[in-house]
Amino acid sequence: MSNDNRLNIQLSIRSKVFVSLCILIFSFLGTVAFVSQQYLMDQFIALEQDGLKRNMRRIHNSLNLEKTYLDNMTANWGNWDECYEYVQHRNPKFGPDNIALVSFNSLKLELIGVWDTKYKFVMGKKFDLVNQKEEKFPEQLDAYVQKNFKESVKKPPKNLTDYVATPYGLMVLSLAVVTDTAVTKPPLGALIMGRMLNKKFIEHMKDVTQADLDILLYDKNFKEPLLHGKLENLLYSKNNFMSFPLS
């Protein structure tokens, strides 16, 4: 066998070995990629979802604490002899003396309103605590109280806490019937207190929960393309949580 033939055979063997190694390497990489995609990525997504669920629980718990605080403040004012006399138009000084900026600052509230025994609006104020200025009281809250308290006043006193859209943004409200301090007399009139879910509130929630969050008002004018179509599914599902990857 000539030297040229031997050289050709050696080159052919080396080429086959090289091709075989390349096939083996690419097969290995493909297998690793497949396993990573099917297992590791799923595990990573599961861990991310667990973390998001923990954050959501912290957020819900923090919101419930805020609602509990608001409920307590509303109950304290609603079960107050002076307020009870005020809704019966027997203590005219109560409103000007107590529904003032100093009360809003000390209680960390942005809205207080009072309705009398005939569910007629007596007095209410809305303050912007960031800029320390009074704003127009939201008129639609009158209809809200009429709807929710006309029947509640006939029942044992119980606060109603809700999220309500106002011209100033989303607000959490606590509504209570008004009775005496000892809660022995029939409830008369209604009292509401509210806090705005504004940027200051959201920053406070971020500090408390250590989570990056935002609160969006969902209505017919909702224009968040990232969430378009997903909130409808969430609203009609049994779960109150949804997670999805961002592309």
Structure confidence by residue, pLDDT tens digits, 56-88? 888 888 888 889 999 999 999 999 999 999 999
d(CA 64, CA 49): 22
Confidence (pLDDT) at 7: 45
Confidence (pLDDT) at 161: 84
Residues 46/52/56/59 CA torsion (nearest 10 deg)? 150
Confidence (pLDDT) at 127: 94
- Digitized pLDDT (tens) for each residue of the chain, 247 residues in all: 555 555 445 546 666 666 667 777 777 777 766 666 666 667 777 787 788 888 888 888 888 888 999 999 999 999 999 999 999 988 889 999 999 989 999 999 999 999 988 888 999 999 999 899 999 999 889 888 888 776 555 555 567 888 888 889 889 999 988 989 998 888 888 899 999 998 888 898 888 888 888 877 766 555 666 666 666 676 666 666 676 666 5
Count CB-CB contacts under 10 A for residue 64.
11
Handedness of CA 166, 171, 172, 178 (dihedral sign): negative
Confidence (pLDDT) at 146: 83
Which 3 state secondary structure label does DSSP give 211?
coil
The C-alpha R_g of the chain, in whole angstroms, comes to 32
